[in-house]
Amino acid sequence: MFKIILLLAFINPVYAGAPCEFRDKVSGPGFKNAVWGLSVRDAATGAELVACDSARNLVPASILKLFVTGAALELLGPETGFRTRVYLDGTVSKGVLNGAVYLRGGGDPSFGSGLIKGAPAAAEEFGKWLQALKKAGVAEINGPVVADDSLFNGPALPGSWAWEDVGNYYAAQPSALSINDNLYKLYFRPGVRAGDRAELLRSEPEIPGLRFTNLMLTGPKGSGDNGYIFNFPGQYSAVLRGTVPQGPPESAIKGAIPDPALFAAQEFTEYLSTHGVKVGGKAAKLEGTKDYGAAKFLAESEGAPLSDIVFYTNKRSFNLYAEILLRQLALAKGKSGTAESGISVLREYLAENGVNVSELKLADASGLSRLNLANADDFTVFLSAISKKKFFGAYLASLISPADPDATGHVKNMGVNTKLEKSLKIKSGSLSGVRGYAGYLTTKKGRLLSFASILNNYTAPAAKIDRLHEALLLELIEKY
């Protein structure tokens, strides 16, 4: 076994007989109770080259997104775009629609997205719908705009997501009728001194009916965003806790829209009103399902291609997109649009691609739940299988390279100004006490490796763990 394992061997005292030369090496502050699994494979042959407790189940965090994005590219297709459709339900007489306008969500996460490059703003799509209304002879609506998000059903969020996460943008509800990435921003003015109350300035956009109890404080200079929004889907009374940094004139945090579909109806209602179309009813959300047989199709908006959604799901580790893709997998197989059905389809797909799912536990698709359990072998087996697929180019493009301009977070700095710059494609994941790294590495001999490393229960600084993994990857380049 190669020397770099010596750097990592102290992380985990037990390797359960796996061929890891330094299985008995344990030392170092921050890793006393840590558990670590590592797997490296030749992607072409699937042969495992390095295995350090690689079959031990651990909490993987966001590298779990590698599963759902790979499955989506194959089962849904890279060019697929999800559609949002508009219907008129009623009769038109003398320019008045005696009835309602329905917005029928097709599970498009990119509608009005501020994240996906090239995705039109919601107002741009609203403008197209307005022109379609005028063409249909509608100048006034005496009923409401109704949002239909019934394509997805079941619980809005996994029950195992942490209370401190729910209400924040990274735990946004995966609605079948999404808008603006289902998030909003709150802006604060910090106090003069650390510990002072931070003033809530505004919400962008403003969410009708959403009230805030502001307990946000001012943190020290350079302390960053440590603010949290506590709220549940469908609730309109949020509590703001934590700190925003002293120094900048204002700071922003991002929250999850309580009901994205209803907000889409409210926004379109407002757009119509400000563009000369009177809407008599209050924006509403459909309860149950609707038969559109008697309704008139008016317009539709096709979202970004799936390859773009996958790109940002992995590059930005965007949980919302992963959870929506999970539900789309279920629909593609003729099942109900629930997370439970999506997980069933995903497990089948993983098994078909060589993953031993008997010990795999999936609680979501994004990796935000701590109830997810997977091992390093699961990832390298899967990554090796994906490397042989027709869509591999799109999948590989969604992973992060050193100094990647499209990525955010710590891992984009890994390998900068080293041999990794031209050879590493990686996805990382992190929760408190959890770090995961997985992806592909091209060696100096031109060999493509798949790798996965999962570390749990550490207390060492994250930067130290990044450095250890950077050294490991550099050693792999030379050895293989």
CATH classification at residue 459: 3.40.710.10
User: Which tokens go with 296?
Assistant: 């008139």
Q: What's residue 28's pLDDT?
A: 76
DSSP-derived pairing of the beta strands 145-148 and 183-189: unpaired
The boundaries of the domain holding residue 28 are: 5-78+307-479
24 sits in the region (left: phi over 0; alpha: psi -120 to 50; else beta) called: alpha
Q: Which carries the bigger pLDDT value, residue 6 or residue 371?
A: 371
Which of the two residues, 369 and 413, has the higher pLDDT score? 369
339 and 289 within one domain: no
- Spatial neighbors of 68 by CB under 8 A, at least 6 apart, are 313, 322, 325, 326, 329, 346, 365, 366
pLDDT at 20: 65
- Per-residue pLDDT, averaged over 266-287, amounts to 98
Together in a domain, 295 and 404: no
pLDDT in tens, 71-81: 999 999 999 99
Count of structural domains within the chain: 2
Task: Answer positive or negative: Cα dihedral of 151, 155, 159, 164.
Answer: positive
Q: Give the mean model confidence (pLDDT) for residues 231-236.
A: 97
Contacts of 211-214 spanning 24+ positions with Cβ under 8 A: 211/236, 211/237, 211/238, 212/186, 212/238, 212/239, 212/240, 213/237, 213/238, 213/239, 213/240, 214/240
Verify that 90 and 70 share a domain, yes or no: no
394-429: b or e for each residue (b if 16 or more CB lie within 10 Å)? bbeebbbbbebeebeeebbebbeebbbeebbbbbbb
Average pLDDT in the 214-243 region? Answer: 97
Same domain, 132 and 243: yes
Confidence check: pLDDT of 64 > 60: yes
- Check whether 150 has a pLDDT greater than 60: yes
Q: Considering only 12-26, 260-274, 451-465, which range has the smallest mean pLDDT?
A: 12-26
Q: Compute the distance between CA of residue 110 and CA of residue 155 in angstroms, rounded to an integer.
A: 22
From 255, 289, 304, the end of a domain falls on 304
Same domain, 158 and 264: yes
387, 379 Cβ separation under 8 angstroms: no
Evaluate if residue 30 carries a pLDDT over 70: yes
What pLDDT, on the 0 to 100 scale, is given for residue 13? 39
Q: What backbone torsions phi and psi does residue 202 show, to the nearest 5 degrees? A: -170, 165
pLDDT of residue 382 exceeding 70, the answer is yes
CB-based burial label for 195 (10 Å; 0-12, 13-18, 19+): exposed
Pair 16, 105 in one domain: no
CA distances from 200 to 195, 215, 220 (A): 15, 10, 18
According to DSSP, the β-strands at 83-93 and 278-279 are unpaired
Q: For 327-354, what is each residue's pLDDT tens digit?
A: 999 999 999 999 999 999 999 999 999 9
Q: Does residue 315 sit in the same domain as residue 298? A: no
Task: Please list the residues that pair with 304 across neighbouring strands.
Answer: none
User: 203: how many CB neighbours lie within 10 A of its CB?
Assistant: 14
pLDDT at 62: 98
Mean pLDDT for the chain overall: 94
pLDDT confidence of residue 19:
53
Tell the burial category of 393 from Cβ atoms under 10 Å away from its Cβ (0-12, 13-18, 19+): exposed
What average pLDDT does the segment 58-72 reach?
99
CA distances in angstroms from 236 to 160, 167, 319, 408, listed in the order given: 22, 10, 22, 30
- The reply to whether 299 and 312 lie within a common domain is no
Domain co-membership, 273 together with 171 = yes
Q: Return the structure tokens found at 119.
A: 């995705």
Q: Are 96 and 140 in contact (CB under 8 A)?
A: yes
Same domain, 152 and 182: yes
Residue 8, pLDDT > 80, answer no
Domain boundary among 304, 327, 361: 304
pLDDT digits (tens, 9 = 90+) for 426-463: 999 999 999 999 999 999 999 999 999 999 999 989 99
Whether residue 2 is predicted with pLDDT greater than 60 in this model: the reply is no
Name the residue type at position 206: E
Q: Find the mean pLDDT for residues 305-312.
A: 98
pTM of the predicted protein model: 0.94
pLDDT digit string (tens) for 348-372? 999 999 999 999 999 999 999 999 9
Claim to verify: residue 341 and residue 410 sit in the same structural domain: yes
Tokens in use for 74?
A: 């194959």
Instruction: Give the lowest-confidence range in 29-43, 158-172, 182-196, 199-213.
Output: 29-43
Which of 219, 222, 224 is CA-nearest to residue 195? 219
Shared-domain flag, residues 68 and 130: no
Buried b (16+ CB within 10 A) or exposed e, 431-457: beebbbbbbbbbbeeebbbbbbbbbbb
* pLDDT for position 6: 41
Residues linked to residue 427 through DSSP beta bridges, in sequence order: 438
CATH number at residue 290: 3.50.80.20
pLDDT for residue 17 is more than 90:
no
Model confidence at 32, in pLDDT bands (50, 70, 90)?
confident
Average pLDDT over residues 307-317: 98
> Which pLDDT tens digit goes with each residue over 82-109?
999 999 999 999 999 999 999 999 999 9
Distance CA 89, CA 81 (A): 25
Q: How much is the average pLDDT of 285-312?
A: 97
Q: What backbone torsions phi and psi does residue 276 show, to the nearest 5 degrees?
A: 90, 5
Check pLDDT > 90 for residue 151: yes
C-alpha span between 476 and 235 (Å, rounded):
50
Burial of 115 (0-12, 13-18, 19+ CB in 10 A): buried
| Percent of all residues in the chain with a pLDDT value above 90, rounded to a whole number | 88
**In the listed set 257, 286, 304, which residue is the last one of a domain according to the structure?**
304
Spatial separation of the C-alpha atoms in residues 101 and 97, rounded to whole Å = 9
SS3 135: helix
* Distance of alpha carbon 367 from alpha carbon 64, whole angstroms: 5
The CA distance from 389 to 348, in Å, is 17
**By three-state DSSP, how is residue 18 classified?**
coil
DSSP string, 229-264: EE--TT--EEEEEEEEESSSS-EEEEEE-S-HHHHH
